[in-house]
Amino acid sequence: MPLPPSVPDWMRPEGLPAHRMPSAQALQRLIAGNGRRRRERAGENLAPGDAVSAAFPFALVVGCLEPGAASEDLFAERPGAVECVRTAGPSLGSDTMAAIEYAALVQNVGIVLVLGHRNCAAVIAAREARAAGRPSLPGALGEWVPMAAAGSAALPATGGTASDSITGHVRALRAELRRADSLLSLTRSGQLKIAGGVLDDDTGGIDFLPDEPDDVVEPVGLPRADRRQYGS
């Protein structure tokens, strides 16, 4: 049974609106904002946007820790409108999940965007570690490898391109979040959208993945039951 999509009222920030931004609108804002940022980076002169800080965020981006791989700045939004949580790949350790649940259940964001990036060394390193038979690694890295290499699970050990691995990684994490018990009531009712995208590191443009249903996303064997063992 999915848990009720609620937290105690005292956890909510004062002044939080009763209704979250519709998830489809939140996605369109991210797409439009990234298009604007990409055009700016390409040299277009655009009118300055609204610089007044947003009272509350409408979106959470779950991205990779590598330089330039994820930031609020990619979406040309007002300060405070978009939040980011960044881990290697990214991955979905317990701290990352808590950040996602906080944004979705406490702050009422309308969208969570899983953002990979084309030049991701972390996902490729995880894929190579997986191909090497998961050698003994220090700390939590050994537990991180299957999560970060999840997108490569459907590929032969030495086959597929780096791009396949990155896109597969984003799809795998998106499917995992769509299945998360704590978010199920929100995702199934459409109040919260879990989207995926891949950033072109050179242009700052994001290819948003088609919003396909989960049943067409290939099973990648994520160790769901063990996800909380992943350190972050």
Q: Write the DSSP assignment of 105-130 as a string of letters.
A: IIS--SEEEEEEETT-HHHHHHHHHH
Q: Which is nearer to Zn ion, 27 or 122 (CB)?
A: 122
| Binding status of residue 115 toward Zn ion by CB under 5 A | no
Q: How far is the CB of 126 from Zn ion (least distance, A)?
A: 10
Q: How far is the CB of 62 from Zn ion (least distance, A)?
A: 12
| Binding status of residue 101 toward Zn ion by CB under 5 A | no
Q: Tell me which residue has tokens 């909380």.
A: 228
Which among 202, 177, 176, 208 has a CA at the least distance from the CA of 192? Answer: 177
| Binding status of residue 122 toward Zn ion by CB under 5 A | yes
Q: How far is the CB of 209 from Zn ion (least distance, A)?
A: 17
Which among 218, 198, 93 has a CA at the least distance from the CA of 145? Answer: 93
Interacting stretch for Zn ion, rule CB under 5 A, among 9-17, 20-28, 65-73, 168-176?
65-73
Which among 87, 104, 102 has a CA at the least distance from the CA of 143? Answer: 87
| Binding status of residue 64 toward Zn ion by CB under 5 A | yes
- Report 148-167 residues binding Zn ion (CB under 5 A): none
* In 7-120, alpha helices (H): 23-41, 94-101
Q: How far is the CB of 68 from Zn ion (least distance, A)?
A: 10
| Binding status of residue 66 toward Zn ion by CB under 5 A | yes
Q: Are 39 and 65 in contact (CB under 8 A)?
A: no
- 10 Å CB burial of residue 47 (0-12, 13-18, 19+) is exposed
Interacting stretch for Zn ion, rule CB under 5 A, among 42-50, 61-69, 98-106, 153-161?
61-69
Interacting stretch for Zn ion, rule CB under 5 A, among 17-25, 48-56, 93-101, 118-126?
118-126
| Binding status of residue 201 toward Zn ion by CB under 5 A | no
Q: Are 82 and 133 in contact (CB under 8 A)?
A: no
Interacting stretch for Zn ion, rule CB under 5 A, among 6-14, 37-45, 64-72, 106-114?
64-72
Q: Write the DSSP assignment of 153-167 as a string of letters.
A: TTS-TT-S-HHHHHH
CA distance 150 to 134: 13
Q: Which is nearer to Zn ion, 111 or 115 (CB)?
A: 115
Q: How far is the CB of 124 from Zn ion (least distance, A)?
A: 9
| Binding status of residue 120 toward Zn ion by CB under 5 A | yes
| Binding status of residue 214 toward Zn ion by CB under 5 A | no
Q: Which residues bind Zn ion (CB under 5 A)?
A: 64, 66, 69, 120, 122
